[in-house]
Chains A and B, each alone.
Chain A
């Protein structure tokens, strides 16, 4: 009798331990999602309604993001890192490309821009052929998947000071910032995504993820204007190992870093020309701090 009791206790205990991680994130159901169908979004003067996006979502998005927005669409099993990235799980309410500080929800405009721009090196195309109304409706639909949008407000967009003139001094200063905050650890000293940590990176869900390679002609995921690049390292890419450097880099230093990163990129630019004239060498990870 005692043996049987012990066996059952062990079994139940094991089951409880195994079930513990499941409580950390509860999958929402269609029933739960029906309660948030009144979600709205506002982009410019257009108001989006989640309920109006059910058909477009089914037509364009559900194959990857799934009917529950959990990123488990029918094609998700075939998208494997590092070649592809898994579709976003909207239920988590965590988004890479934001104008808002790290840890906060994105603005509606951020989600709208993501739908419009798509994501390079992923299966998310540019949906700019859809009407503005359809895209704004889809923003509301994306929001209706996550309970975060019902309880939290999006963060305030970070301020971006006017872009200064590119000078040789600013590029050199950007190189120092690149060395100081150790961008090279992931992105490599020449921006080729081959830093010592590159092969170990995983996202918040434990999936392998590669740092951005500045040299292969790819466009940065969250936009390729100077403002977009500035925004990326001041807001971070939530859910990935790319943190926000808002507390470590001053705004003028951030612009310096933008200019330095441009020197890695294959596209022609004034920064590249200046770097050539300066005969800039890559940072030396083995040199003492401040002399890299």
Chain B
């Protein structure tokens, strides 16, 4: 077949050839330009270490960085106290990400028109939006107030500039000279070995770990979100080389909301892990976590048809009727030589049947039920339970270039509306919910390339694609939704 006879084909071949040459050119450029990574701002400026010393690839920690964090942001070299720093040193890092972003969501309810006017009916179609966008702005400031007194403060804004306190904590380190006893108080990230706050991906669905935020469809429990920073106190300890770690936290069941919201309910979060030196393969870590707690379902300071909590500014003790929930699973960090690793998290979750029926507080802030005196559960209501797994492999070509993959799947093992349920479920289906309602499967791939990093600033060229499938959550009963996202951005800090 002669190409010249087919102009469109010839054009296609020419484009493909150009793309191939571009790729052949760009890949070696990217690979050969991967010079040694320098230091990350706030702590690197203090200690003069390159960012690669603490980060497998910024912002994800390696074992040394985890130990530094576990020591209370200290190298334990008797030079950790700020009195040893140049008085001009200010431990602050700013981080923000301008980007181009494309989101495509299937089965969206859209308006329909007739003769230039709304018909009042809707239609289902895929909606794709793209454009330039911004992330929020993070002010990371942390370090030591004195030897063995550390802190972290993170005022964070959304992309419009509205601020909130993401992290506020002070920590007493190495109490009685022992690394096994450290106490932290404030609002902080739970001791998740695979840290969502140090996630390597940025899209809406791929920029979080679904496992850390999963809530069954129609469930009213927002309190069991391991990925959200929580208010509480944490005791943690570790061996001198950080191979053995434990932590135990007592948290307010309010999902990090201040002003004593949601009443007197508490949650415990526990972790333990042990790492093993396996020679040339690296250090392998195995651990488990468990989260168990109570959260309210009864709002006692409402009435008169007032909007349900948290629409108004309610004081403390405004809620009772605590019901239980739990999350537990295993964590594995497996290394296969200097370049390849696999992070694994599993989860089994269970919520009280009350949450399953929408009592509590929905994630959108609108409660659907108030468990007042005399309220009973409908026939067929049962505790929703689920199982999930998260697999995240990384190929670290160098600290400056990392390829990321992720697969997450969460399957409901028991729906809140079981056999015998006669009402209308959260997606409009009468009777027992389909067994797969709310199941999630998501894939993320991407890479981050840092053309330079100095002890004064960091910069990453970020490329990421995410695809998420959700069962039964479409606008029509029983329909599924597929969403895809593409993000290209400059992730920088200084």
Contact = CB atoms under 8 A, between A and B. Distances in A.
Interface string A159-177: 0000000000000000000
Contacts of A120: 77-78
Interface string B47-59: 1111011000000
A123 B455 CA distance: 14
Contact of B280 (A118, A123, A133): A133
Nearest to A56: B338
Contact of A129 (B47, B67, B398): B67
Interface string A29-42: 00000000000000
A228 B64 CA distance: 25
B183 to A, nearest CB: 21
Nearest to B50: A63
Interface string A11-30: 00000000000000000000
Given A64-B48, A78-B48, A123-B47, A59 B76 contact: no
Contacts of A63: 36, 38-39, 48-50, 53, 455
B240 interface: yes
Contacts of A64: 48-49
Of A60, A79, A83, A122, chain B has the most CB atoms within 10 Å of the CB of A60
A67 B283 CA distance: 26
A128 B240 CA distance: 8
Of A59, A60, A83, chain B has the most CB atoms within 10 Å of the CB of A59
Given A128-B240, A129-B63, A129-B64, A60 B79 contact: no
Contacts, number: 99
Interface string A59-87: 11011100100000011001100011000
Given A118-B77, A131-B278, A60 B52 contact: yes
A219 B282 CA distance: 30
A141 to B, nearest CB: 14
A105 B67 CA distance: 32
B38 to A, nearest CB: 7
Contacts of B454: 74
B455 A75 contact: yes
A122 B48 contact: no
A44 to B, nearest CB: 12
Contacts of A128: 240-241
B341 to A, nearest CB: 13
Contacts of A150: none
Contacts of B63: 129-130
Nearest to A120: B78
Interface in B125-150: none
Interface in A108-155: 118-133
A132 B242 contact: no
B84 interface: yes
B364 interface: no
A218 interface: yes
Contacts of B48: 63-64, 75, 78-79, 123
A132 B75 contact: no
Interface of A: 46, 55-56, 58-60, 62-64, 67, 74-75, 78-79, 83-84, 118-133, 217-219
15 contacts: A59-B36, A60-B49, A60-B52, A74-B455, A75-B39, A119-B77, A120-B78, A121-B78, A122-B77, A122-B79, A123-B48, A126-B240, A129-B283, A133-B277, A218-B78
